[in-house]
Amino acid sequence: MAKPVSEADLRAAALFTLDAVANTIAGRNSVQGRKLLAWQRNMSTGSNYRIDKARQAFLYGSLCHILEVDDLHRASVVHPGCIVVPAVFAMAAGGVGKTALTAILRGFEACCRVGMSVGSRHYEIWHNTATCGPFGSAMAVSSLLDLTQTECVNAMGNAGSQSAGLWQFLETGAETKHLHAGRGAEAGLVAATLAKCGFTGAPEILEGSRGLFRATCPNPDKALLLPVEGVPWQLHLTSIKPWPSCRHTHPAIECSLQLHKRLQPNTSIRAVHVYAYQAALDLCDRVAVDSAYAGKFSLQHCVATALSKGTVGFDNFEPEARDAAAGLRARITVSSNQKFQSAYPVHWGSRIEVTMQDGSVISHEVSDARGDPELPLSRADMIDKARGLLVHGEYPDPDQLIDEVLQMAETGKVPALSGILAIQM
């Protein structure tokens, strides 16, 4: 990819890399994380729990996506960090930081552009992070390996043929979503390293008569695959999550937090209505919440929590908090709004209307949520978020790891995560 890389691009990539690394470490401290680490021990050799690079990418990616506070690119509905960064860290530990960050920029670009091109209908059945992610990890590892154009085409072809990931897990709250990120990271790494060995892949894996578009995309837009002159790297257009829930809940959370400030103590709420766009309803219209994961995919729970508590953190999805929010959840209704629907997926907006027992109504509306490029987190905010995640993951020296990752943009090396993740929880 000939697109130039500036020092500012590298510094931004280092911050997004830090976010992914911190999410990976934090993911250890979860029910699913402990299961994944048990899997690691079962698949490893020796007392240090070493696994090969492909399985490392799978492990890192799966852990990174567990807590639902990793990044998201709105126009593609792809979480690029949990796909691209794990593949690069599995391949490049100890390598030159700037080389790795350049690969990460290119990986974000590839999976986000493929994600934009598959069209809105793809997302109804297919999880874009899983289906489009392998193109990002393949491009990133291709960059690390300095593949030729032909080799890179082979890598992308074989990555695309491994494209998969269905939303069916939402019906029961199964843990499959974490595998989507892990497999996406692993598939691209395998595809690129095979291409380095001369292994061929389909050059028309997207647009071919039996390719991805034909199989899974009722309304693809191939024009979105190609970069436009003057448009920044897609990494700069990627959002960072401040709250640990599905990104589709965040515009409503933003509104609810603002309304919480206007509520008087002991205010009695009669009803709440959430206006959003259809994709948010398709994934997150959920009154009954019987697990932390279900809560993270519930507009009703996230809004009830933000309105009543004025915060949305990890603890707000635990059993006691879910029970406490049940009454207000039952009084929250949701619907699609044409204003927000027409702006989606470029902008993710929401409006909350709260009706009090006396009949008075207060409301708040946003076109974008905190952490979007229009309302970005500051560098200090992102470092604070990473520190909090590392503390949650019980990492012994958060500031040291933060410095190591950020130094990748200057003269630093790529930190090794394999030993860190082998720590028993």
Provide the pLDDT confidence category of residue 281 given band limits of 50, 70 and 90: very high
Provide the pLDDT confidence category of residue 84 given band limits of 50, 70 and 90: very high
User: Does 424 or 398 have the greater pLDDT score?
Assistant: 398
Provide the pLDDT confidence category of residue 141 given band limits of 50, 70 and 90: very high
pLDDT at 106: 98
Provide the pLDDT confidence category of residue 49 given band limits of 50, 70 and 90: confident
pLDDT tops 80 at residue 209:
yes
pLDDT at 422: 59
Over range 308-314, report the average pLDDT.
Answer: 94
pLDDT tops 80 at residue 48:
no
Of 3.40.640.10, 1.10.8.100, 1.10.4100.10, 1.10.3720.10, the CATH number of 7-242+373-421 is 1.10.4100.10
Residue 225 has which token pair?
């695959």
CATH class of 247-366: alpha beta
pLDDT tops 60 at residue 423:
no
Number of neighbours of residue 356 by Cβ within 10 angstroms: 15
* Phi, psi of 288, deg, nearest 5: -80, 125
Each residue's pLDDT tens digit, 366-400: 999 999 999 999 999 999 999 999 999 999 999 99
pLDDT tops 80 at residue 421:
no
% residues pLDDT > 90 (the chain) = 91
Structural domain spans, the chain: 7-242+373-421, 247-366
Of the candidates 249, 241, 225, 365, which has an alpha carbon nearest to the alpha carbon of residue 303? 249
Q: How far is CA 186 from the centre of its chain?
A: 16
Over range 110-129, report the average pLDDT.
Answer: 97
Provide the pLDDT confidence category of residue 276 given band limits of 50, 70 and 90: very high
pLDDT tops 50 at residue 425:
no
Q: How far is CA 390 from the centre of its chain?
A: 17
Handedness of CA 122, 251, 300, 382 (dihedral sign): positive
Q: What Å distances lie between residue 277 and 226, 274, 301, 339, 399, CA to CA?
A: 27, 10, 17, 8, 39
For the chain, what is the mean pLDDT?
Answer: 95
Over range 175-188, report the average pLDDT.
Answer: 97
Alpha helix (H) residue ranges in 28-175 = 31-43, 53-64, 81-92, 97-117, 128-145, 149-160
Over range 398-420, report the average pLDDT.
Answer: 94
Over range 30-54, report the average pLDDT.
Answer: 90
pLDDT at 424: 46
What global pTM score does this model have? 0.93
Provide the pLDDT confidence category of residue 1 given band limits of 50, 70 and 90: low
